Amino acid sequence: MKNKTAYILGIITLVLSMSSCGGDNGKADGYGNFEATEITISAENNGKLMQFNVKEGDLLEKGAFIGYIDTIPLSLKREQMLSSKAVVSSQSKSVLSQISVLNAKLKTANANKLRAENLIADNAGTQKQLDDINGEIDVIKQQILSVEIQNAPVVNELKSIDIQLRQIDDQILKSKIINPVNGTVLTKYAEASEITSFGKPLYKVADLSTMKLRAYVSETQLAGLKIGQEVTVKIDDADAMQSHIGTISWVASEAEFTPKIIQTKEERVALVYAIKVDVPNDGSLKIGMPAEVWMTTDNN
| pLDDT at residue 25 tops 90 | no
Residue 18 has what pLDDT? 42
Asked if 277 and 245 touch (Cβ cutoff 8 Å), the reply is no
Residue 183 has what pLDDT? 95
Pairwise pLDDT comparison (109 vs 42), residue with the higher score: 42
Q: What is the mean pLDDT of residues 157-162?
A: 89
Q: What is the mean pLDDT of residues 102-122?
A: 87
Residue 2 has what pLDDT? 38
d(CA 221, CA 16): 12
Residue 6 has what pLDDT? 40
Q: Closest Cα to residue 230, out of 282, 277, 264?
A: 277
Residue 7 has what pLDDT? 36
Q: Which of 96-100, 188-192, 231-235 has the lowest mean pLDDT?
A: 96-100
- Mean pLDDT computed over every residue of the chain: 84
Residue 235 has what pLDDT? 93
Contacts of 34 by beta carbon, 8 Å cutoff, 6+ apart: 211, 212, 213, 214, 279, 285, 286, 287, 288, 289, 291
Q: How confident is the model at residue 40 (pLDDT cuts 50, 70, 90)?
A: very high
Q: Closest Cα to residue 252, out of 275, 229, 271?
A: 275
User: Could you read off the pLDDT of 253-294 as tens digits, one per residue?
Assistant: 888 776 655 555 455 557 788 999 999 999 899 999 999 999
Q: Closest Cα to residue 211, out of 297, 283, 259?
A: 283
| pLDDT at residue 13 tops 70 | no
Pairwise pLDDT comparison (239 vs 286), residue with the higher score: 286
| pLDDT at residue 1 tops 70 | no
Q: What is the mean pLDDT of residues 160-168?
A: 95
User: Could you read off the pLDDT of 200-228 as tens digits, one per residue?
Assistant: 999 999 999 999 999 988 888 887 889 99
The strand ranges marked E within the chain are: 30-35, 38-42, 47-52, 59-60, 65-69, 176-178, 183-188, 195-196, 201-206, 210-217, 230-235, 242-251, 256-257, 271-280, 290-294
Q: Which of 24-28, 38-42, 215-219 has the lowest mean pLDDT?
A: 24-28
Q: Closest Cα to residue 174, out of 69, 20, 33, 58?
A: 69
In sign, the C-alpha dihedral spanning 136, 142, 148, 150 is negative
Residue 267 has what pLDDT? 56
C-alpha torsion angle, residues 24, 28, 29, 34 (rounded to 10):
160
| pLDDT at residue 168 tops 60 | yes
